[in-house]
Amino acid sequence: MTMTRRTLGATAAAAAAALAARSADADPQGFKKHPLIIGHRGASGERPESTLMAFRQAIAEGADVIEPDLEMTKDGQMVVRHENEISQTTDVASRSEFASRKTTKSVQGQQVTGWFTEDFTLAELKTVRCRERLPKLRPGSAKFDGQEQIPTYQEVIDLAKSESRRLGRTIGTYPELKHPSHFAALGLPMEGRLADLLKKNGLDSPTAPVFVQCFDVEPLKTFKMLSRAPRIQLVSPKGTPTDSRTPYMDMVTASGMRTIATYATGVGPDWSMVIPTVDGGIGPATDLVKNAHAAGLAVHPWTVRAENVFLPPKQRIGTDPSAHGDVDAVYHALYAAGVDGLFSDFPGLAVRARG
């Protein structure tokens, strides 16, 4: 069958209009219309990380998404901590009633000593209080020590929904499956629990305001079979996933991105993999964004921090490691590279730089 140019043009216009309508229906509040600002463990440069206080602060500063790392309790609940060893971010070590819980165990190939979420019930964990992980670097945040409990992921979802209603804009969540093989070996597999939780909360769709991330490969492949929510393969400048022989740097080549696209909808690289440091300063963008976009993948780099110690030498201001440097230069370079979002410990600064 042949078609005239006019018919082809009309058909293309109709398809574009239909796509626009579907996009508007799926994203009525503009959740994906600009590079997303992802509050890394909340506004973790200003409040103790991974607390409801930190998530509220990130939202108040304009974050589009808040990021909780997920760990498991003994009774199968998903709680929000960066590590399953919690002595660095809570006062558990000072609690005499839990002194006997201190232990050493192997967590995905690493020997770790301390107190672990999987050795506590949720009720027990709710009795400890959170504190700043880097008090010398972030003394302003440390002033809020002892004020917050460890939240569950459900509590973070509830906060995002209530703040979305209050502010009239969509607040997403960005849960990370942490140590999935470790918990699976303990009889606490994470993928099914997370999929069920997303379904319960109306978040089981490709356009839902949620992204599920993991540094390992197999959990994302499993999760794809259980949920339609977006999935992000995290990658690092060094190392290899614990369940793969393919180094992360090989995963971000053009062919590697096409492989990721078979089970994930995006990639989350260390920001230096997008904007490398060259001669002590910000260098030209790599091909990572181009390779990802060619494979149909979104790109959400992690984690931009404002303190001098985390910036390239030429972006540092003064000699105090905790003082803020020229972090705007990093934000602007990432936006110019075409990223679809970025993680920041200071989401308000990222929002301002986005303009």
Cα separation, 117 vs 165, whole angstroms: 32
Per-residue buried b or exposed e for 53-88, using 16+ beta carbons within 10 Å of the residue's own CB: bbbbbbbebbbbbbbbbbbbbbeebbbbbbbbbbbb
Cα separation, 335 vs 337, whole angstroms: 5
Burial class of residue 189, CB neighbours in 10 A (0-12, 13-18, 19+): middle
Cross-strand partners of 124: none
Cα separation, 31 vs 176, whole angstroms: 20
- Mind telling me the catalytic residues? 40, 82
Contacts 24+ apart (CB under 8 A), 324-328: 327/353, 328/353
Strands 266-269 and 298-299: parallel
Helix H or strand E encompassing 269: strand 266-269
**CA-wise closest residue to 266 among 347, 343, 151, 183:** 343
Per-residue buried b or exposed e for 95-117, using 16+ beta carbons within 10 Å of the residue's own CB: eeebeeeeeeeebbeeeeebbbb
